[in-house]
Structure formats: structure tokens, C-alpha cells
Chains A and B, each alone.
Chain A
Amino acid sequence: MSSFLVALAPLLVVGLGGLLLMLGEAFAHRERGGSGPSADLAIGSFVTLAAGAVVAFSLWLVGPENLGGAAGVAPFLIIDRFTLFFDIVLCVGGALAALLAGGYLPEHKLDRGEFYPLLIFSTLGAMVLASAGDLLSLFIGLETMSLGVYALVGFRRGSARSAEGAVKYFLLGSFAAALLLYGGAMLYGATGHTDLAGIGAALRGGTLTGADYGLAIVAMVLVLAGLAFKVSAVPFHMWTPDAYEGAPTPATSFMAVAVKSAAFATLLRVLVSAFGDPASMSWGTGWPPVVALLAVMTMTVANLVAGRQESVKRMLAYSSIAHAGYLLVAVVALMTQPGIAQGSILFYLLAYTVSTAGAFGALILCGSRGKEAVSYEDLAGIGHRHPVAAAAFALFLLSLTGVPPTAGFFAKLYVVRAAIGGGFLPLAILLLLNSVVAAYYYLRVLVYMYMREPAPGAPVAAPMRSGYVTAALLICAAGVMLLGLWPTRSLELAIDAALAAR
């Protein structure tokens, strides 16, 4: 009877850990006063989320197909290798954000304990989202994740920019959720199922009447639009730069890494399980041309706009949109090469997680005393003033650019290979062209860090030093190098995790 608890172990570990931390923080707060709560909570959150990743990995080793309880929670939560892979990626993303927060929050006088429970519960929501096999659990996971992140964006209560980013993100995010939900309601009406597998079976069976089939197509458009908001694909990206810039940097890192990964996980699951029938997957009558259009617009617009930004944080926000575009190219390749395309997406998300979290961490190290290093000028000469932060930043930017032998290079390589192998040569060429454009603004940071000196008289922030942030950077750097030097084994694992297309 209790075997379903084993299948849900990663979720339970993270959820119970979050509850304990939340209560602990509430009870400890009044006794002490004085020093801030970050020190204990950052470690506690890191341990909780790392434990979630470890438990997910041990379930992976056992093999989810050997877990008796997995069937008991289906179809609401599907425990397969795909889920476990994303559990690990999401827990790593959340744990890194917790470490970054441990250094960032005290430095910027934001040291309030709420940050960590919000972070953990958002991660929990993201994990539910990644494992959701039913529209109901998908919606609940999506909202659990999003509500926490809305609050995290508005965490800097004294800052108008933070409040504004939170307002925009909240309004557009809830609007997208409503679109998604309306699409879900239509799918239920057309097929009589709310579970993705049932919807897929009904579409594949060809038993739908004409009107129901039309309804399902309209629903598909609405669901795609809702998910495109969440992965911040152009033209649904308007909230991204504002929310990313207004949020405290650890929260930005979490959004760029975990929220995006979870959104891609659910996009894949919806497209493969629910819209995986031959008609929906064909170029003429299905979603691939729509996704291809999204991919082209996302890559191109994001890269062109990113090059014009003066704020490094905003540049990284647009760069994260661009990476969503590269990933969408691989999503199109699902059409002809489901296994390899999914493997490349999963590998890309893993590589992107460590590179992006590292880049934001290095950006945190470059500012101090309540002042973030935001513009390119702030970074001038940081190569001499803070060689460690600069070296780490350089490594992660090179990985994001896709320079060998970093993780980012192989991630791009596999996506391009999946696209070419799937017969989408133009998309692959466009991806490569965009990577060249992107190299301009990534390398511009390096130029400022190493070849410019701050203008005379300009206020120069003393770079901060923090054990937490350094630890996070070390983990990210290790990840970038490991994935870059031994990519094939990780890719095999990622392909193992791919959803079976039926």
C-alpha cells in the first residue's frame, strides 16, 4: 500500500524538507534577532534539494519500471526515467540558486528567511510539472511553481523595479495559465479525457467527430501558446527581460534554469504523449511548423536585441530566450527523430543549467554592498580586481557561446545534429548563424573584463567574497568541464530518459 511513497520519494523529500525549514525559520526568528537567517537556511535548502537529487538518482539506478508504486500514482504523476532526469536537473538548479542566495541576500540587505521556502516549494512545483501526466496535475504543478516565483521576483520590497517585474510576470503568467487551461478544458470536451495518454489515444484512434477534432486543434493552439509563454518564446517573451532584471539575481538564476527546464519538460510530454499522433506530428497538419516558426523568431529576435543591451543582467535574460529558441529547434526535430531529439534537449538543459547558474553566480560576485554589477562598465577591469570571479564568468560565457571543450559546445552540437538528421537543415544553419551573433555579446563581456579599465572617477564596487557563491561556482565549473570532456556518456543517459513515442 505504501509503495507509492517510494515512487514519490524525490517529491516527498523536497516537500517535507521545505516544510521543516519553513517551520524552523518561523520559530527561530524570534529567539535570535541579530544575525540574519541566511546562513542556516542556505545550507538547509541546499541539503534538502541535493537530497532530492540523490534520491531521484538512486531511483534511476533501481529503475523506475521496478517500482511497484509507480503505477499507483499514474496518470497524475508519471514516474519514469524522463521524470527522474528532470528531478535531478531541477533539484540541481534549485540547490545552486539556494547557494547563490546564501551569498547574495545578506550582501544586499535582503536577508529574510522567506526566500528559501519559496525557492524549495517552487522547485517542488517544477518537479510535479515535469512528472505530470494529467492536465490537472500539470496545472497544479505549473501554478505551484509560478506562484512561488512571482513572489521571488517581487522579493526586493523596497525596489520599484522588482515590484514592476513581479507585476508584469504575474499578469502575463496568469494570462498564459488561463489560455493553457482553456485549451485543456477544450481537450477534455473533445476527447473526454484529462490525462495526456488518454487524449493522445483519442486523437490517434481517429474516432473523433469532425467538430470534436476541430476543437482539439483549437485547444492545441491554446495549449502551445500557454506553454510558449512559460518557455519565453518570441512573441510571448515580453515579460522575460523585465522579470529577470527586477528579480534578485539568485531568483533570476532559478527562473532561467529550473523554470525553463520544467516548462520544456512539460512541453515535451504534452507534444509526445497528447499530440504524438501521426496527424498532429506531420508538417502539413500538426504543430511542427508552428514550433519551427517560434524557434526561428525566438532565436533571431532574442539575439539581435541581446546585442543592444547595456545591462549585463538583461543581456543574460535575452540570451536565455535565445537558448529557448535553440531548444525549440530540437523540439521540431521530434517529428522525425523523437529519441535523439529528446536526448539532445535533455543534454542541452543539463549543460545550460550549469552554465547559466554559473554565469549569474559570477555576476553576483562582481557586485557588492547592495550594488549589483549591472552594466558592462561595472565589469571593466574586474579581471584584475577579482581574477577568480572573472575566470569563472569567462568559462561560463564560453560555454554559453558554445566553445569547445565546454558543455555548451556539445549541447549545441547534439541539437544541430538532431536537426540535420531530422531533415531540418535550414533550421540548423539558422541556429549556427545565431550562435555567431551571440558570440559577439558574450565575448564583449570578456573584452570589458580583461581589456578595459574603469573610467577615471567612476565608482568601483569592491567585489564581494562569499563561500556560498564560490561553492556554487565550483559545482557549476565542474559540471561544465565534466559534460564538456565526457559528453557521450551523459548523452546516452539523456537518450535513455527520452519518452517513448508511440
Chain B
Amino acid sequence: MSAVPVPYFLVLAAVLFLIGAGGFLLRRNLLVLLMSIELMLNAVNLTLVAFNRLHPQSHGGQIFAFFVVAVAAAEAAVGLAIVLSFFRLRNTVRADEANTLKN
């Protein structure tokens, strides 16, 4: 059985990253923005693990991915808490409603 070549993973990761970045820039729902960021982080994980196959002398890439997963969870928790408190005050999760600070 032949393994899937590494560049396939890299392209997939780049697609995921661009979908995430595009979602971040185009969408207006705060929860969707949070999900876009998570998608970008997962694309990074995929890139790291794929590159680890090109550098098999250590498991640096895979270990890095573990840490990214753990930190992303903490980030999601803080992000959800912030969005929740925003929702409590403004009764909306739309990003374009966040405009009281314009000067």
C-alpha cells in the first residue's frame, strides 16, 4: 500500500487555511468567526503533521500539533466566554453591531 504523498496534505491544509481566513474576513457572525479561527489552527496542525513526515528524525511537528490543540481549546473557551458576555449586553452575535467605539 503506498502512502498518500505529502504535497496532497499540504494542499488540503492550505485549502482549509484559506477557507478559514476567507470566513474570518467575509462572515459577520461572531461564532462563525470563532469557528474560522479554529479551522485555521487545524490547518496548521495538518501542515505540521504532514511536514513531520519529511523530517522523520524527530517528532517535533507532531508534538507541536498536540500543543496547538491544547492551546486552541483554551483559546476557544476564552473566546466563547467573551462572545457570551458581548451577547448578554448587546443581544446579538453580529460583528457589524460592534460599533460603539467608533470615533
Contact = CB atoms under 8 A, between A and B. Distances in A.
Chain A–chain B contact at Cβ < 8 A: yes
Interface of A: 135-136, 139-140, 143, 147, 150-151, 154, 157-161, 163-168, 170-171, 174-175, 177-178, 181-182, 184-186, 188-189, 192-194, 241-242, 245-246, 309-311, 314
Nearest to B24: A175
Contact of A188 (B24, B41, B51, B85): B51
Please give me the 7 A-B residue pairs with the lowest Cβ-Cβ distance, nearest first.
A189-B51, A192-B55, A178-B40, A185-B47, A163-B86, A242-B101, A160-B89
Contacts of A139: 67-68, 71
Contact of A174 (B63, B79, B100, B103): B79
Given A182-B17, A188-B55, A314-B103, 20 more contacts: A136-B67, A139-B68, A154-B81, A161-B101, A163-B86, A163-B88, A163-B89, A166-B82, A168-B98, A177-B75, A178-B37, A178-B41, A182-B40, A182-B43, A192-B55, A194-B60, A241-B103, A242-B101, A310-B103, A311-B103
A193 B57 CA distance: 11
B44 A178 contact: yes
B41 A181 contact: yes
B64 A188 contact: yes
Interface of B: 10, 17, 20-21, 24, 30, 33-34, 37, 40-41, 43-44, 47-48, 50-51, 54-55, 57, 60-61, 63-64, 67-68, 71, 74-75, 78-79, 81-83, 85-86, 88-90, 95, 98, 100-101, 103
Given A164-B98, A168-B98, A135 B64 contact: yes
Contacts of B78: 147, 150-151, 170
B101 A136 contact: no
B103 A309 contact: yes
Contacts of A175: 21, 24, 37, 40
16 contacts: A136-B63, A143-B71, A159-B89, A160-B86, A164-B101, A167-B30, A170-B79, A175-B21, A178-B41, A181-B41, A182-B44, A185-B51, A188-B61, A189-B47, A192-B55, A194-B60
Scoring A136, A189, A193 by chain B CB atoms within 10 A of each residue's CB, the highest score goes to A189
Contacts of B68: 139, 181
Contacts of A178: 20, 37, 40-41, 44
Contacts of B41: 178, 181
B74 A185 contact: no
A193 B20 CA distance: 26
Nearest to B79: A170
